[in-house]
Amino acid sequence: MQKKKIRCLIKYENVALDVDNYKVLLPLKSGWSNNSLVTCTNCGELFVIDWENPETEKLSLKQIAGSTLCPSCNVVLSMHLANYPATIKISENQFGSFDDESIPNEDEGSEIVEFYELRPHQKDL
């Protein structure tokens, strides 16, 4: 699976009861980019979806994932995907959640982070 580097805000937030200062990655939004992150609910691997890519136009998350297997844990991703950071896999039995609406879209404190890029019709694992 190809990787893609995107600029993210790095925040340390409370994402679940008793889980503070948890690292949360939030893709920066700008005029020319519309990236969102999704997570494998089985292992917590993160993937970026580029919604500006014509390939992803009008497709749902499940359609984009298709039969792609998670490169980290090998499950069929379409069955194990959730929007991140609304869903954050913290550990084996624990999920957290974070609402990024309250975070200003500012460049300060951002870093380039590399993620697997989830694209439709991908069979080159």
Which residues of the shown chain bind Zn ion in the complex (CB under 5 A)? Answer: 40, 42-43, 45, 70, 72-73
Residue type, 93: N
Beta-carbon contacts of residue 122 (< 8 Å; ≥ 6 apart): 1, 66, 68
- Which is nearer to Zn ion, 9 or 96 (by Cβ)? 96
Separation of alpha carbons 112 and 2, rounded Å: 16
Give SS3 for 75: coil
CB of residue 116 to Zn ion, shortest distance in Å: 10
- Which is nearer to Zn ion, 13 or 45 (by Cβ)? 45
- Which is nearer to Zn ion, 66 or 110 (by Cβ)? 66
Separation of alpha carbons 71 and 17, rounded Å: 30
CB of residue 91 to Zn ion, shortest distance in Å: 14
CB of residue 125 to Zn ion, shortest distance in Å: 12
